[in-house]
Structure 1
Amino acid sequence: METFGRYLDLHELYNEFINSKFGTLMEYSAYVGCFSQTDKISHSHKATREYLEHILEYLTSFLYRTEPLQDIDKIFLKLESEFEEQWANEGILGWGNKGTEKESEIDLDYYSTVEELVELGPEKLKQALAARGLKSGGTVQQRADRLFLLKVTPLEQLDRKHFAKVPHTKDGSNTAPNGNAFKEDMKKEIALMEVKMKRLCELLDEAFVRTKENAEKKLTLTYEEMEAEREEEEVQVDTESDDEEQQIYNPLKLPMGWDGKPIPYWLYKLHGLGQEFKCEICGNHSYWGRRAYERHFKEWRHQHGMRCLGIPNTKNFNEITSIEAKALWEKIQARQGVNKWRPDLEEEYEDQEGNIYNKKTYTDLQRQGLI
């Protein structure tokens, strides 16, 4: 079960793996752990390609469903362009061609009898025969006999019954002379699928970790416990959906908290949220609680109201919420006018005889030439 995208459901792929010729018997949790290590699988089986196709199909589908904003086509397009370059340079890990060709080459000049070839073992003989396009099946003795024929007979003159069957297209033409080109295309296709699969595994790394942990956890549970856990998850999902649909019961009209639910009543009383403060300057806007009321004097609504009245929003008008603030401002302006320093009357000047005059008198006497 994927549990709404939380876990990967790899059971079908797991059954396909353990029942295949290239697979090995293991626990499901172990399979999840080594799921992405397809380079350890033998690629000589036809079922390997189908297995990789099924993996790629499932992972792509899972990523589409869990992360719909991921542009998978763009990711694959970039991977394919990088893959072509790396394949040409034989930079794909585990898919180098030069090394395998050298390993499959057997110089028949060094062998004088079939028995010496038998000592090489079945795998080396199989690789050598496959590299030359010959049948690679049969016992070790049969393989050695078939390969030893090349010591006395050139490959071109060898009887066609010793050659492996070459795949044909619909029009009857050979797709791969000696089977090499066809095998090369197959290898390239499988390698590309592996690269795509590993990239998807990287994107779904967290889901793989959760899946493995869940699989290991289930190993310690009995069947009854697993059933109870599954039912609990289903009930939890149902209750969550029901909670979202139900209307919130709030008879006291308490303010909503960060979780979308009414805050506790004791918190409501602690902050005095039942007290209403109105401000005429703010257009009779209501503020609930002393804290909100004190903070509003520095907020945009109150500042805008003060600007409309032509009053500066200073400390003198703190805690004043009525329009009478305008009358107070006029009184302050008048008081500032009386106490204001006037230089023409209060600035003092002294003449040569030591007489003191204010600025206005001194200027008048100076104009008349009396000073």
Structure 2
Amino acid sequence: MSSGLFEVARQTHEEIERYEVALADLLLKPCSSHKDKLRQKHQVSDVLDRITSRHQYLVAFYDEANVDRRDELQLISAQKDEEDLFGEFDGRLARVRAYHEKYPTAPPDTAFTLNFDQLEHIAGAGGVGALNTSSSSALAESSTSGAAASATTVGALDFLDRMFSGEEAAGKFLDLYPSHTAFNNLKGVRRLTYLRYIDDFDKLLPIHQHSSNAMDVEDAPPLDHPDARIPIETKRSDAYREYLQSLQSYLLTFLRKTQPLLDVDALERRIQEEIESAWEKGEARGWEDRGETLFGKGKAKASAEASSEAIWCEACARFFSKSTVYEAHLKAPKHAKAQARIDSGASQATPQPGSSSSTTAPNAEHERRLARAKQLAHLEHAIHVLGTELGPLREETRSNVERKSALTERERQAEAEAVALEAEMGVLPSSSDGKKKKGGPGGGGGGGEGDEDDEEDDDKIYNPLKLPLGWDGKPIPYWLYKLHGLGVEYKCEICSDHVYQGRKNFEKHFQESRHAFGMRALGLPNTKHFYEITRISDALALAERLKKQGRQQAEEQGEAEEVEDEYGNTYTKKTYELLKRQGLI
């Protein structure tokens, strides 16, 4: 059943009011986990987009230039036919009655329900389409029943899981592995580890001078600026430009997905305005010379500079920087032939360096170089601004990579199983201690007490078993504590009664400086003979016994050694020395 334009406008006003009520309900809903907060932001963004589209329709409807609205107003006000004032009204009333007689069970057009499951489905599919002007089309997107929407999403992944990769963990971390690989594949750059790349991917200033044998040394200091990472030769390549475009696209997309309420378009406009202003003033970071160092001055600019400083030879159509070179050129046969052609009038007039015909092609080349340099400057500035905007996430990503690198294979498998269990049954693992808490009865992971971020802001750490603290400042898992035997204490008297927890730490300390210093204080060598000797008395007794054994070995070696006298008689060394002292030999 068709409705008039004013009825569509009234329904649009009603939709806006209902969306505002739904928006208030969304904002009042408590969310404690990261995933629930992000889901709520996307739902709020979707509702705001719908409200904005309705307002845009109403602004266009109430515009004075809207001919359809003016005609509709004249039609219902009976200004065209003053004799039949209620003719239009009666006709529309008859059409309404005929429609309901034909479809007695049809629902009213004003039925309006907001299904948040459908909001998630639309957000995962790419957003809300434009608002149709007809009443039935405008209401169709919000009148879908909850059962139909639920049937569509049964067995499917959460729209946040479809939106992010596994490494991004629903927007908690950045996934810069593809960009890191592309950066290391650039010709001439110093290869960076992934952790170093997370910190330095927005440091794109040029390196004007570098040593070729230091290209693969990660910790080699930059020669120009602390942020200088890219050689000039690399900046000239198309691969570098494609790398910048890919990195900027990823950062913008990630920012839109993780901060749906942020006006990213306004941020892009601000970046464009900043680079335009800095480029005009010659203050673009790393591009103060507008790419002259990178791409050269161009033929047009070189020609202009040469014309003001050098000497122009009209016959040969070239500049000479010095008068001595120009005078030598005048004596050359090539110049003589060119001058003879000009004198005979065989050749056409040579264009001057300042003429338009001689500078059209160089100027076009200069413009192309300038546009390319400006594009690179814009991409680098955008990456720098976006990297600053994502600063906290970069720190979180670095910490997560360090944590994963310290995990054993068993811990990685346990974490992967916990993530799979979270996706299937709504079990949310805690941040780092391996504990798991269940969500609400619906299994959607949106429960109150079992959220993964509840413990991040706790000042007091619950550690009743006095477990050692890990790299994140929290107690290590109890199974890891038992696996390494950290409950067993080993006391070393030589190390001033220092106590070592675990067999591994105890064995390792014999080669550390503390134990070596204690052995030197006792006047003993820190050799393998004293391995696992922890008491001072035992070490001194062992040293004395080793001395005795050394003397005995020396004596035994003396008895076993044989010598001969001048007559060929054989004696043991001990007997020979004794007879010699007695003067018998």
Structure with the bigger RCO (C-alpha within 8 Å, sep 6+) is 1
TM-score bin, normalised by smaller chain: 0.3 to 0.5
TM-score by length of 2: 0.30
Q: Which has the larger radius of gyration?
A: 1
TM-score by length of 1: 0.45
